[in-house]
Structure 1
Amino acid sequence: MNLNILIVDDHPMTVDSYINLLSNSELNKHNLHFIKGYNCQEAYNKINMYVKQNTPIHFALLDISIPAYKELNINNGVDLAQLIRKKFNMCKVVLLTMHSEALTVDKIIKQINPEGFISKSDINFELFPVICQKVLNGDYFKSPTIIESQRELFKKNINWDDHDSQILILISEGVKTVNLPNYIPLSMSAIEKRKANIKDQLLEGRGGDKDLIDKARKLGLI
């Protein structure tokens, strides 16, 4: 059986390491074909080429933090994963990250529901091909740091949805409240209400944006 595997990471040595590990694992019983990308634009072009050829991508290993393709607003591995979900609905997606902030993890799981979600600090050369084999066999895998990040959110009893998470993340990135409707499909009054709810939960209603971000960082949410 042919197995087309897309690997995207901005470090060529990392991509080659993944290829070597998978080539020398149980997966080598398949006819493995590796598709390499080092940034969002390269990956987009490869995905598009496979779409045009009507050839499936079976498995995608995507680093989250990779150089963006600004012209098409594909900013990271999560945006690539969304594209893959639309174009190849049978493709199994594994996301790899160095970031495990609770709200970021929660947002990605809600957006993508990847078959695999791995903190790079949790894996080694032995474990990596085993995880990939499990995912290809139909299992879902979250590494310990990702699981702990989800537990933290649950323990803090944070009660909000993806839009609320986006509001907090965007404010932490320096986006002014007045500009939030440019990023989130909600009215200014709806955004203000949600922001007030976030402040109630984290600051008991007191403080400004800086206090809110400081508190969220202290809690490990962003």
Structure 2
Amino acid sequence: MKKHLNILIVDDHPMTVDSYINLLSDIDFEENKPNFIKSYNCKDAYSKIFFYIKQEINIDFALLDISLPPYEEQNINSGIDLASLIRKKNPNCKIVLLTMHSEPLTVDNILKEIKPEGFISKNDINFELFPVICKRIIRGDIHRSKTIIESQRELFKQNINWDSHDNQILILISQGIKTTNLPNYIPLSMSAIEKRKASIKDQLLKTKGSDRDLVEKARKLGLI
């Protein structure tokens, strides 16, 4: 008797979700029968994730677009937040993140925080490759698409070796978040954040400068 392979697909374009399902439906899952769970935004996906948790049923494979309509009441603002939730509640689920963005710091932050089994730039896939990659990931492979790998190489070439908190500091500053409010987003003390911020400025600016100077330099380098 075949077991259900529960596959969560979240994208804000219903036609894209249906396309993914059509492509994955052609895969021979051998002893498993795919059960597709469709969602188009963070709120609905959040609800379905917890529905399966309450039923004590695992989600085996999650295919998540990064840019999604948020669920602000639960602070679930993207596919990254959904991936983090799934990691905590369903650690054996294989997660694939899809994106149109490949900024080095953002990519590095996602890889360090989520450690997805698959991280794919939408520019790198086509109808033939997509099901092949997904089947390999379901079987246990790790996949990073060409653009994601190149983004990591670019960060390495810049000779910057920050951890995820450093990445978050720079990303949040670029989004207009004031330093005094950063402890609301990052689990560090104000003094620790200020020390890290000073180190980031030393590495990028080589001299003293404003937050605006820091963000402009990071954008010129293609880091954000």
TM-score by shorter chain over 0.5 = yes
3-state SS in 2 of match to 1:26: coil
What is the aligned counterpart of 1:164 among 152, 163, 166? 166
User: Which position in structure 2 is the counterpart of 1:148?
Assistant: 150
Q: Which amino acid aligns with 2:199?
A: N
- Give percent identity, aligned residues only: 72
Matched, 1:120 2:100: no
Aligned to 2:108: 106
Taking the aligned partners of 2:186 and 2:203, their CA distance within structure 1 comes to: 21
* Cα offset, 1:25, TM superposition: 2.7
Asked if the contact 1:6–1:34 (Cα under 8 Å) also holds between the matched residues in 2, the reply is yes
Q: Deviations over 1:148-202 (max 9, x none)?
A: 1111111111032111111100110001112212222222222221111111100
What is the distance in 1 between the residues matched to 2:8 and 2:142?
18
TM (norm. structure 1) is 0.96
Of 187-196 and 62-71, deviating more is 187-196
1:69 aligns with 2:71: yes
Deviates more, 1:126-135 or 1:191-200: 191-200
Most deviating of 183-192 and 150-159 = 183-192
Equivalent residue number for residue 191 of structure 1: 193
What are the residue-to-residue correspondences of 1:13-52 with 2, within 5 Å? 13-27=15-29, 30-52=32-54
CA distance in 2, matches of 1:187, 1:2: 45
Pair 1:210 & 2:212 matched: yes
Inter-partner Cα distance in structure 2 for 1:52 and 1:45 = 11
RMSD: 1.2
Gaps of 5+ in 2: none
Provide the C-alpha distance between the structure 2 equivalents of 1:29 and 1:119, rounded to a whole number of angstroms: 30
Partners of 1:103 and 1:84 lie apart in 2 by: 22
Instruction: State the number of aligned residues.
Output: 222
TM-score normalised per structure 2: 0.95
Moved over 3 A (4+): 27-30
| 1:28 positional shift | 7.4
Aligned to 1:94, what secondary structure does the other structure show?
strand
Mapped to 1, the partners of 2:40 and 2:199 lie a distance apart of 40
